Amino acid sequence: MADDAILAHGLTKNYGKLVAVDHVEMAVPRGSRFGLLGPNGAGKTTIIKMLTGLAPITEGTASVAGYDVARDPMNVKKRVGWVAAEVILDDDLSGWENLWLQAQLQRLSDWKGRAQQLLEYFELADRKKDKVGTYSTGMRKKMEIALALLHQPEVIFMDEPTIGLDPNVRRMLWGLITGVNREFDVTILLTSHYIEEADALCDRVAIIDHGKFVATGTPAELKSRVKADFVELETSEAVTEERLAAIAGVSNVRSQGNTWILRVSSAEEVLPRLFHALKTDGIRRINVEKPSLESVFIDITGKRLDQGSGDVQDYRKFYMNLRRARQ
């Protein structure tokens, strides 16, 4: 349909025997922000590479900005921009010179007005003659996005745009991404393995694991599907699955390495029973996941997406927070 900036049917990529992207269906409306959320190796970058014509499609079809990616790659390339984690700025050139270089690479003749407009939008105009090497991380990010916008693309692909950034710059970039989407009327497809990022930025999210879309919807829709809490648990002594499953309120028990993941009706109700059953001394680490995109991922795949970055808390802290919330 013409109202979709990105359309894919049965999109598949094989690298030898590995199926990196496995029959993906996607329809991204023009002007929207779509997120591919999944762990490392899930196939996010490969999808972008196929959609931008950088990697041949093994099977299936895709069109971007109204053009078939396999049959008409030049028309696609003219209409898309790409912001990737790899640095694309030339530190020895000024901001303006970087824009000039980008214009040469894309064979743009009439670019100066647009370049100036972008510099003003990103509040870089007064630094345009300074070498990019002297810019802060936030300014560099703005410059990268300005370069991607120079040829007035209809679709921008952002591959893990905030990976490795400190939280302040990340938040700043979130604001920028939403702003660019509205101000320049550009469709954004971004990939992330940060739960909060997909939640905060995207109108729709596809959760991807091992090359497959395992769930698609608005963040709110996805979260409302999970009517349970998850308790992640590490114990100092061996515990059997039966013993955990026998606790009232526990509806599912899975293990990931030496960690247990329990699906429970309500963490507040089940935790006291859990402490009683296991004796608090036997619990090395405990983490509660309330309905979130993380719990959607856990529910479907049985494992955590955001390995290690979850709010790890001990049960005393958890209760302290609960008590505080109730006052």
Ligand X SMILES: Nc1ncnc2c1ncn2[C@@H]1O[C@H](COP(=O)(O)OP(=O)(O)O)[C@@H](O)[C@H]1O
Under the rule (CB under 5 A), what is the footprint of Mg ion?
A: 44-45
Closest separation between CB of residue 22 and ligand X, Å?
10
Query: With respect to ligand X, which residue has the nearer C-beta, 98 or 191?
Result: 191
Q: Which of residues 9-28 bind ligand X (CB under 6 A)?
A: 15, 18, 20
Give the list of residues 6+ apart from residue 45 with CB closer than 8 angstroms, or none: 159, 191
Q: For ligand X, how many residues bind (rule: CB under 6 A)?
A: 11
- Binding partner of residue 124 among Mg ion, ligand X, none, CB cut-off 5 to 8 Å per kind: none
Query: With respect to Mg ion, which residue has the nearer C-beta, 135 or 213?
Result: 213
Task: Measure Cα distances from 224 to 20, 147, 227, 304, 322 in Å.
Answer: 29, 38, 7, 18, 22
- Contact between 57 and 23 under an 8 Å Cβ cutoff? The reply is no
- Contact between 190 and 221 under an 8 Å Cβ cutoff? The reply is no
Closest separation between CB of residue 159 and Mg ion, Å?
6
Instruction: Kindly give the pairing relationship between strand 229-235 and strand 80-83.
Output: unpaired
Q: Which of residues 27-46 bind ligand X (CB under 6 A)?
A: 38, 40-46
**Nearest in space to 207 (alpha carbons), one of 43, 10, 30:** 43
What value does the CA radius of gyration of the chain take, rounded to a whole number of Å? 23
- Binding partner of residue 20 among ligand X, Mg ion, none, CB cut-off 5 to 8 Å per kind: ligand X
Query: With respect to ligand X, which residue has the nearer C-beta, 231 or 305?
Result: 305
- The phi, psi pair for 280, rounded to 5°, reads -55, -30
- Binding partner of residue 143 among Mg ion, ligand X, none, CB cut-off 5 to 8 Å per kind: none
Closest separation between CB of residue 15 and ligand X, Å?
3
Binding site for ligand X (CB under 6 A): 15, 18, 20, 38, 40-46
